[in-house]
Amino acid sequence: MEVLIVGNRPLTKSVIELSKNKFIIAADGGGDRLLEFEILPNKIVGDLDSLSKKTATDLKKRLVINKNAEKTDLEKAVDYAIEKGNKKIKIIGWSGGRIDHTIGALGLAFNPNIELMDDNFTISVVTNLETISGKEGTLFSLIGMPEAKVSVEGAKWNLREQKLGMSGRGIHNEIGNSEKVTVKCHSGNLLLFMGNFVLEHK
């Protein structure tokens, strides 16, 4: 079963649809965030320093206490999911808080079985060749972490074995009129930020 991990950041109503037919793991205070939408997590993983006492008491049998100070609660939740044999993991509620936690969470996307999601983007790693589809004008961005040699075909702005780094060069591209884009990472580490909306040009 696909796993949804929920971090301790404000959620929107999109979590209701995302949580359907998934094994839900809350990262510590993410348990309280889910209960705001009347969604019951299957497990709550972490050191429980940000989970309310009421939730910790009411859902005592669902707690997985992990006091490892060298990992964030989000990382602990991912470790738990992987240990249980889950290979397809989506993560929400990971961004929008402390910038150091947000940047740290980006590292999780380098696992090819993990997707980081918010209301606008899905973030995943490009390990070799990736084909993305969508309506013409759908936004996507590519960022080398810290650098990658990349080719892009079928986009508004194509590339041929060009270097992308942590800069604006690969940001704000669009799917072309073929409604299909191929992205090849020749070397380095590359993250794909796939938008779920079409840009409107005035």
HEC string of 19-39 equals CCCCEEEEECCHHHHHHCCCC
Tens-digit pLDDT profile for residues 97-122: 788 888 888 999 999 999 999 988 99
Per-residue confidence band for 96, with pLDDT thresholds at 50, 70 and 90: confident
Question: 184 is written with which tokens?
Answer: 């090849």
Query: Residue type at 22?
Result: K
Cross-strand partners of 43: 25
pLDDT 10s digits, 26-54: 999 999 999 999 999 999 999 999 999 99
What own/partner pairs with CB < 8 Å and gap ≥ 24 does 66-72 have?
72/27, 72/101, 72/104, 72/105
pTM for the structure as a whole = 0.91
Average pLDDT over residues 70-91: 95
pLDDT mean over 83-93: 94
Residue 199 pLDDT = 65
5-10 average pLDDT score: 95
- Predicted confidence (pLDDT) at residue 202 exceeds the cutoff of 70: no
Average pLDDT for residues 150-157, to the nearest whole number?
97
For residues 114 and 95, which has the higher predicted lDDT (pLDDT)? 114
Q: What is the number of other CB atoms lying within 10 angstroms of the CB of residue 32?
A: 18
State mean pLDDT over 54-66: 97
Burial tier of 189 (Cβ tally within 10 Å: 0-12, 13-18, 19+): middle
Residue 145, CB-side half-sphere exposure with 13 Å CA sphere: 20
- Say what the alpha-carbon torsion angle 130, 190, 84, 28 is, to the nearest 10 degrees: -130
Fold match flag (3-119 vs 124-198): yes
Domain segments of the chain as ranges: 3-119, 124-198
Domain 124-198 sits in CATH 3.30.70.80? no
Helix %, strand %, coil % of the chain (to 5): 20, 40, 40
Give pLDDT, residue 201.
59
Which CATH entry fits the domain spanning 3-119: 1.10.3720.10, 3.40.50.280, 3.60.21.10, 3.40.50.10240? 3.40.50.10240
Name the percent of the chain lying above pLDDT 70: 98
pLDDT digits (tens, 9 = 90+) for 176-201: 999 999 999 999 999 999 998 776 65
